[in-house]
Amino acid sequence: MPDTKRNEAITVGDVTVRPGRRGRIQLPFAKVATGSDETLPVAVINGRSSGPHVWLSAAIHGDELNGTEIVRRVMRRLDPKTLRGAVIAVPIVNTLGVMIESRYLPDRRDLNRAFPGSSRGSTASRLANLFMEQIVAQTSVGIDLHTGSNHRINIPQIRANIDDAGTLKLARAFGAPFTIHARARDGSLRQAALELGATVLVYEAGQAHRFDLEAIETGTDGVLRALKSMGMLDARLPRAKTTRLIRRTRWVRARRGGLAEINVKLGQYVEKGELVASISDAFGSRPTKVKATETGWIIAKTQRPLVHSGDAIAHIARETGPDKDEPAEKTR
């Protein structure tokens, strides 16, 4: 049975949100060139009854917008009078990057390499430190929402430590088509939160600079299912499909530069040696075939036809037995 004990008030910045209420807060983190404050927008939905405290974050990279829409849709579905626990939602973390439509902050720093940050460091470091102190420190679970980068598109997928039973349970409840075991990168929000004992899922779907309806709908349903699995919601939701657990992934890369014609689709199953793309010169002559180096599913691919030698073409995920597992690439 869900715990019906009354919840406690939550304070973010100088705003206190009482149980059964919602609040919006603007947390200053930098003075910009005009002399005005730049702020971090935060919403708190504090349930009337006690339960887990969860953060939702999006647009840590300023050109990755699908997560922002997911957070907005999830927030509309949450009622603090019936919610058990609390959700602290940050739909746009990298506000400066969003304004210039860039993955990075204006000084070219990657915010997701600045955690846990410092109150006296760079703008990225100060923003990371603020997020850790005001958001992560008050939660035990986090869902960080991303998209593909650098002209790539990702099939909906979760990146997480599937060797942790609690994390795997949450990933199964989320129900993305793929769940990929991946080590966290140093300096990432995920790594910093894990060091504090939080359970963290990273959701990857769609492409930068765009709203992708499938990515948004899959992510919204997944977040709500994850919250329901923790006993926070009673909502009727689409049933989660079985997620494929992946431990090994590999990018197929261009052997030469030129114009690439991509021959595979997201989610397609390919055999090793199967044609993935053809690369030719400006006249379309002397095409070079690019073949799959693994047998598995296409979970990401480039959207850009112009490629150089070594550029990533398609990302293949392979299901492997536990005795042959190899770690996927570090992520986010």
**Does residue 3 lie in a domain region?**
no
Query: Sorting pLDDT into bands at 50, 70 and 90, what band is 150?
Result: confident
162 and 287 part of one domain? no
| Residue at a domain's end among 211, 244, 277 | 244
**Does residue 71 lie in a domain region?**
yes
Give the lowest-confidence range in 61-75, 132-146, 275-289: 275-289
Give the lowest-confidence range in 2-16, 94-108, 205-219, 256-270: 2-16
Domain of residue 261 covers: 248-331
Are residues 24 and 9 in contact, defined by beta-carbon separation less than 8 angstroms? no
Half-sphere exposure of 29 (CA within 13 A, CB side): 28
143 and 215 part of one domain? yes
Are residues 221 and 210 in contact, defined by beta-carbon separation less than 8 angstroms? no
| Residue at a domain's end among 184, 214, 244 | 244
Mean pLDDT, residues 146-167: 96
Task: Name the residue among 67, 64, 87, 65 with its Cα closest to residue 77.
Answer: 87
The whole-angstrom separation of Cα 330 and Cα 332 is 7
210 and 252 part of one domain? no
In terms of pTM, does the model score above 0.85? Answer: yes
- The domain total for the chain is 2
The whole-angstrom separation of Cα 214 and Cα 153 is 12
CATH number at residue 323: 2.40.50.100
Are residues 231 and 51 in contact, defined by beta-carbon separation less than 8 angstroms? yes
**Does residue 21 lie in a domain region?**
yes
**Which pLDDT score is estimated for 299?**
98
Six token digits for residue 317:
């995920």
User: Is residue 35 classed exposed, middle or buried when 0-12, 13-18 and 19+ CB atoms within 10 A define those classes?
Assistant: exposed
Q: Is the pLDDT of residue 18 over 50?
A: yes
**Does residue 126 lie in a domain region?**
yes
**Does residue 2 lie in a domain region?**
no
162 and 222 part of one domain? yes
The whole-angstrom separation of Cα 168 and Cα 180 is 10
32 and 82 part of one domain? yes
**Does residue 1 lie in a domain region?**
no
- What is the sign, positive or negative, of the torsion defined by CA atoms of 43, 180, 146, 73? negative
160 compared with 328, residue with greater pLDDT: 160
Q: pLDDT per residue over 225-276, tens digit each?
A: 999 999 999 989 989 889 999 999 999 999 999 999 999 999 999 999 999 9
**Which pLDDT score is estimated for 328?**
56
Six token digits for residue 50:
């006690």
Task: Name the residue among 291, 293, 265 with its Cα closest to residue 278.
Answer: 291
Coil, strand or helix: which one is 148?
coil
35 and 156 part of one domain? yes
- Full strand arrangement of the beta sheet holding 288-291: 288-291, 275-280, 258-262, 306-307
Coil, strand or helix: which one is 101?
coil
Q: Is the pLDDT of residue 278 over 90?
A: yes
Coil, strand or helix: which one is 195?
helix
140 and 267 part of one domain? no
Give the lowest-confidence range in 31-40, 51-60, 156-165: 31-40
**Does residue 138 lie in a domain region?**
yes
Give the lowest-confidence range in 171-175, 206-210, 284-288: 284-288
Are residues 218 and 205 in contact, defined by beta-carbon separation less than 8 angstroms? yes
231 and 263 part of one domain? no
Are residues 223 and 158 in contact, defined by beta-carbon separation less than 8 angstroms? no
| Residue at a domain's end among 213, 228, 244 | 244
20 and 156 part of one domain? yes
| 121: Cα separation from own chain's centroid | 25
**Does residue 62 lie in a domain region?**
yes
203 and 320 part of one domain? no
58 and 75 part of one domain? yes
170 and 310 part of one domain? no
CATH number at residue 172: 3.40.630.10
